Amino acid sequence: MGEFDFIQTYLAPLAGREGLGLLDDAALLSPPLGRDLVITQDTMVEGVHFPSGQWGAGTAEKLLRVNLSDLAAKGATPWGYFLSLSLPRAMDERWLSGFAKGLEAGQQAFDWHVMGGDTTRIDGPLVISLTAIGTVPSGKMVKRSGASIGDIIYVTGTIGDAMLGLDLAMGRAVIPVSGQGLMVWEEAYQRPEPRLFIRKWLRDNASASIDVSDGLLADAQHIASASNVGLTLNLSDIHFSAPTREWAMAQDDPQAAMVRLITAGDDYEILFTSAANVTSINSVSVTAIGIVTAEGSKLLSPNGVDITPAQTGYRHF
């Protein structure tokens, strides 16, 4: 199947009107009146961001979901996306069809669509780059740089499930393991839930926000750096799911296991700072895990002792 056959067979049916049927060299966008555009981009590389050979629907849907997480952290409503595909020559039509079905599932679930992009063939691993576009009311995007001293640091959901899901996907032993753990971990890694339901609350109440992709500790430090503040996080306050906490407590060094969980990344929960007191937002659980300080970054053990991890999160370089 040639490039243009692939585009017209599998991608054009997914395009919105802005994409002009994917028949042109560009899209035509008219931003809604009174709204700003929020644009973010992510790249996923086979063997780095997902296991080798997983070219199908699951990888495509996850790509959409992790970009939607970026938009959610900014308080944005999804609009559309541009997709760039560098496809291995060994990737045949069966895989292309599955990949397109994953895109379709992600579009239908979150009401957005492809607007354009590019495709090519390479002698190498699958490389996918997605540029996501969302909208917010003018001036209302939630940045990383707005945290103030005294703000509470919150995170949605649970942390660390995706790390164990990745271990399973890579064929690494996860001990102990349970039926519940298998379901929780695999779902967290394969189909992260973008927290779009809290975007309006974030716009109205959060001083700074980021999604947890590189690791909870690393992303908290991104907020601190951008806001020119410090932070103190309490390891004992971080919420782990029941099977993940059970796994950590069964390790030789439970505290070290918990630190690994909060520095692994791929959680795609929302980490934010706010002066408000909150425990849930639109049925999404929220946990207070620390406070914004004047300077310095600390991670405290349950006994109040400073913890210094070997690294704070995933390093791209």
- Would you kindly state where each structural domain of the chain is located, as residue ranges? 3-137, 152-300
Over residues 242-261, the pLDDT tens digits come to: 999 999 999 999 999 999 99
Least confident of 8-17, 86-95, 154-163: 8-17
Over residues 104-149, the pLDDT tens digits come to: 999 999 999 998 888 888 888 989 999 999 999 999 999 999 999 9
pTM of the full structure: 0.90
Over residues 75-95, the pLDDT tens digits come to: 999 999 999 989 888 777 778
Taking the domain 3-137, which CATH number applies? 3.30.1330.10
3-state secondary structure the chain: CCHHHHHHHHHHHHECHHHHHHCCCCCCCCCCCCEEEEEEEEEEEECCCECCCCCCHHHHHHHHHHHHHHHHHCCCEEEEEEEEEEEECCCCHHHHHHHHHHHHHHHHHHCCEEEEEEEEEECCCCEEEEEEEEEEECCCCCCCCCCCCCCEEEEECCCCHHHHHHHHHCCCCCCCCCHHHHHHHHHHHHCCCCCHHHHHHHHHHEEEEEECCCCHHHHHHHHHHHHCCEEEEEHHHCCCCHHHHHHHHCCCCHHHHHHHHHHCCCCCCEEEEECCCCCEECCEEEEEEEEEECCCEEEECCCCCECCCCCCCCCCC
CATH number of this structure's domain 152-300, picked from the four choices 2.130.10.10, 3.90.650.10, 3.30.70.20, 3.40.50.1220: 3.90.650.10
Report whether pLDDT(316) > 80.
Answer: no
